[in-house]
Chains A and B, each alone.
Chain A
């Protein structure tokens, strides 16, 4: 065993190599452990020639290693050169298996690891933490000793390994870099996700390679792969290019052969190479075993860190993507900073200091950045549980603003999914749209705007500052992070949102005291798409409020369920059975993944009994709903086919995800002449690339749902955007701003396939030039070949970025696709307005 290093850095990505370079520059004894044979594996695995972006542009880079936007090869080349030049002590092929303290046990420092089994049971394992130095055990059995450990391992995790006998033989591999590399081989692919299917097809693509390729599928379906990949695979199978072996699992592996367990018994087939693509395990389990605590049980939670990136295990630090910072620049700055901290530099201000300072620049009060952060943290109750590092990170995605008395903070019906915390002063909520003088006050320390955050829908009321007020506007992303980091904040937001929803739901006149018992008894429940909440004919008596998502109401008429209505978030249901004591008159089920607030029926009745005005309003709503139901039932007798049409069309639209849309393009194919003017107009309105595919998509009864953004209430694309470039704009549109780094996460996350990755094409000659002289490709998206040729002639290639519909934001007349339709076939609608009997049975022609 060598001596004890001052610091060991695990992982040589941007964070790790920047830390190592700093340690080398400071002359600290260090070692950089990398599991592969090259630096920065994640970027190494990027596609050849990929343009790597350097955002955020306003953040200065503070590292001994250079980095600027450019081609993958150039960046990796420079890093290799500079790491060698700085005499960084790199140890390749060094994969850490375990890290444990070798000093004395730290009194009272016990790590609890909670593991959840598939059946929902939990088991808790306790680990006693030991003081440094740490022993880092490598997979090859070596041990590296270090006083401090920096974990910069990212979030990709390691590929799951095969576990059958022979799995450790050298011809079992977990990655395929170049399918053209292998010829004349019997190759078995294990795993039928997208990666496995793409590998198998790649290896079998060229018959000249003469590979015999089989792919093993444990069952008969392909639940984890994209439909397009599955059908291509099955076509290759039918064409005899490769073999799909269903209901087959690996039994054992030996050189030259593999034995499979199949439905008909064991089967031994020749096999020169096995490529296992069976997913990867997130690094959390490994990290927890090191004694590092995560902020919550949430899957998206990050390790709990001190302001100097130190974890709950003293001497172990976490930086980079694993700490919640996925951007390269952040990672490199943290690598630099963490070494400075370890080296005893306590004066260092984080590199984002000027960005945060700028956020407080316009506020009255002359406080320093630290003072402002502390002011917000102590005054806004939901922020109390955060530490200074979390506050800084939180502030990067938030803004602090001052408002004068009477100034509007947001208006009713404005889109917005941010949450506001009142640091000082108070605000007035205009609860009655007809009479702005009716307001409810919200005091300092509390929050508002939570309905927009939770439901993803427009603001329900105008909010003004009641006095001089300072608020912190917490972006959706920061609010979600806050809730996963600070469980107490999540609880507080939930309680306030339930209370507000009750107050808002049943109109003015109710006070917080009135609904308090109901709030206490309320329960938030999550519902899967299609899950039934209320069953027709049942005699349960709870009332529900839709907190997020949407529901559909249907009733069994004759032998078929008939669609009665669509309920968006914010609606309530189930009150009829409570008020008149009858059985449930209809079935209510979730249209998409939703959350409901369950209110006990008795509590609801008590509330009604105490508030005659509320009772009256509830009775009126109920009568309205009864009338709608009766109308459709009445139609069923006389115009059965119209009701069937309505019911089935509505169901079709809900099945195609319209339930979570806010503004969706539909095409009435009884009017569509297929001129594609919508696509052309889209391309001409947006840099020459169309963001919609008219032909693709499902159709029912001539109503077509093309591939085009629906501007979801809770956009899937926003889920994992490293630069946080996807936002909701002033008209409710979900758009991608100029900070996009082209990573493609949003494209993978969108279930509707509406995001494409492409480079901004060169400018076309004008319409007049085309009309008179035929120059250029004419209106619409230029063909790929034209774009490529022209771009090459213009020089420097542009990065491929994510592009999607922005609902023609900033364009005067609204969406160009609709305006450009010559026959009126293209319409953009909102589900709550369109999923009604009149709209769906309207005769357009």
Chain B
């Protein structure tokens, strides 16, 4: 009731007052600048420090870059834990994502300089290549995160996923009763459309949004014009539109998520390769 200063007022007020910006712009591109500084310093060091006999992962500067890179990779991979463990701690996942993106990109510089441009068919290069692949998939992720959400929202038209499916069920119910007076062949078209799994088409269909075997469209094409068919056709058209919305949502979400299926396993492979890389380096020191 009557309360004294023991509350979050000023903190909450700051939150309510803060600008609403994306993870890329977070705090005036704070992590971009830090990543650029890290890359700049690494390049400057690489150019200015005289490494003997030649720039190499095994020189003291090479070890320094390697240590920074390794720590960064381990920290970056912890994002997966961070986002699933929200308490305790007063941190924001947006800041973590922002740092993850920019520091992850700076690894291209740090990692490459660490190699001293010595590439070969060995576990060391494997780790380097895996790292580049992880970063490449990450770049895809950043691009889709920045460009796709608006179309996801536009496609949704204020409907939830459950509502989209409910709308389809409602159409199906009407379609079933409207199809009763149809002839055998026409009724079979409708039955086939109703029987088909909404989610058929597999991964390819999901990613491309192309469903060449859509029974609803086939039924629509096959349906002759007639008094009894008129309502069925209208309902089939409604069904096609509803399916298009569901498939659109599936497609955009698939595009937003598909890279994670590569990014995460590659990260695990990268950590394995890195372990081999580090152990072998120390073993043969």
**Which residues of A approach B to under 8 Å, CB–CB?**
235, 238-240, 399, 401, 408-411, 413-416, 418, 420, 473, 475, 663, 668-674, 677, 680-681, 684-685, 693, 695-699, 702, 704, 730-732, 767, 771, 778-779, 807, 811-816, 818-825, 827-830, 833-834, 839, 842, 844-845
Contact = CB atoms under 8 A, between A and B. Distances in A.
Nearest to A668: B20
Interface string B7-35: 11101100111111111111000000000
B84 A674 contact: no
B87 A824 contact: no
Given A418-B2, A680-B84, A822-B23, 17 more contacts: A473-B1, A672-B152, A695-B161, A731-B8, A807-B12, A813-B92, A819-B93, A820-B93, A821-B94, A823-B22, A823-B97, A825-B22, A829-B16, A830-B16, A842-B20, A845-B22, A845-B146
A681 B25 CA distance: 23
B5 A411 contact: yes
Contacts of A828: 15-16
Contacts of A235: 170, 173
Contact of B90 (A813, A820, A824, A842): A813
B246 to A, nearest CB: 14
A669 B20 contact: no
Given A240-B177, A681-B86, A663 B149 contact: no
17 contacts: A238-B174, A410-B4, A415-B3, A663-B16, A673-B149, A696-B160, A697-B158, A699-B158, A730-B6, A812-B87, A813-B89, A818-B15, A818-B92, A819-B92, A823-B149, A825-B149, A828-B16
Contacts of A845: 21-22, 24-25, 146
Contacts of A399: 1
Given A669-B150, A771-B81, A824-B22, A833 B17 contact: yes
Contacts of A844: 20-22, 25
Given A239-B174, A823-B145, A824-B20, A410 B3 contact: yes
B86 A674 contact: no
Contacts of B158: 697-699
B12 A731 contact: yes
A702 B150 contact: yes
B83 A820 contact: yes
A728 B146 CA distance: 38
Interface in B151-191: 152-154, 156, 158, 160-161, 170, 173-174, 177
A346 to B, nearest CB: 35
Contact of A816 (B7, B86, B154): B86
Nearest to B84: A779
Contacts of A693: 160
Contacts of A240: 177
A812 B174 CA distance: 52
B81 A814 contact: no
Contacts of B26: 824
Contacts of A681: 86
A672 B8 CA distance: 27
A411 B4 CA distance: 6
What are the nearest 4 A-B pairs in CB distance? A813-B90, A669-B153, A695-B160, A681-B86
A677 B93 contact: yes
Q: Indicate the member of A415, A420, A697, A824 with the most B CB atoms within 10 Å.
A: A824
B11 A814 contact: yes
Nearest to B150: A670
A699 B3 CA distance: 37
Contacts of A779: 84-85
Q: Indicate the member of B9, B26, B256 with the most A CB atoms within 10 Å.
A: B9
A752 B88 CA distance: 30
A475 B11 CA distance: 26
B253 interface: yes
B121 interface: no
A732 B12 contact: yes
B91 to A, nearest CB: 6
Contacts of A812: 87-90
Contacts of B93: 677, 819-822
Nearest to B5: A411
B139 to A, nearest CB: 16
A767 B84 contact: yes
Interface string B59-91: 000000000000000000000010111111111
Interface in B91-105: 91-94, 96-97
A731 B23 CA distance: 27
Contact of A814 (B22, B90, B97): B90
Given A670-B149, A820-B86, A414 B7 contact: yes
Contacts of B170: 235, 239
B149 A671 contact: yes
A730 B86 contact: no
Nearest to B158: A699
Contact of B86 (A410, A418, A685): A685
A773 to B, nearest CB: 15
B234 interface: no
B8 A416 contact: no
A418 B97 CA distance: 42
Contacts of A819: 86, 90-93
Contacts of A839: 19-20
A672 B4 contact: no
B7 to A, nearest CB: 4
Given A410-B2, A414-B9, A685 B87 contact: yes
B4 A414 contact: yes
A812 B25 CA distance: 25
Contacts of A663: 12, 16
B90 to A, nearest CB: 3
Nearest to B160: A695
A473 B173 CA distance: 59
Interface string B119-139: 000000000000000000000
Nearest to A410: B2
B2 A704 contact: no
A418 B256 contact: no
A409 B3 CA distance: 8
Contacts of A670: 149-150, 153
Nearest to A415: B3
Contacts of A684: 85-87
A845 B145 CA distance: 11
Contacts of A818: 15, 92
Contacts of B23: 671, 822-824
Nearest to B19: A842
A681 B170 CA distance: 33
B37 interface: no
A693 B162 CA distance: 12
B276 interface: no
B86 to A, nearest CB: 4
Contacts of A674: 149, 152, 253, 256
Contacts of B12: 663, 731-732, 807, 814
B148 interface: yes
